Amino acid sequence: MAAGARGGEQRLSDFLLWECAYAELWFTGCLWPDFDATVFATAVREFRGRDRRFGAIPQEVVV
């Protein structure tokens, strides 16, 4: 989760970038002091709806 994503910018710093190779990221415009149980529940719902492939390429995309 990255709190405070604004203006369409969604980025990571270069610190330990390799740790994010298969990470699932979720960006919110909510700033950290305002991050509460409701925002957390939204994040959990988003993650539950994702198709996790663990690095695999779906068959219909194979070139």
- Which residue would you say has higher pLDDT here, 44 or 13? 44
pLDDT at position 58, please?
72
Q: Is the pLDDT of residue 45 over 70?
A: yes
Q: Is the pLDDT of residue 47 over 80?
A: yes
Q: Is the pLDDT of residue 5 over 60?
A: no
pLDDT at position 2, please?
57
**DSSP sequence for the chain:** -EET--TT-----STTGGGGTT----EESS-GGG--HHHHHHHHHHHHTS---TTPPPGGG--
Answer whether 0.85 is exceeded by the pTM.
Answer: no
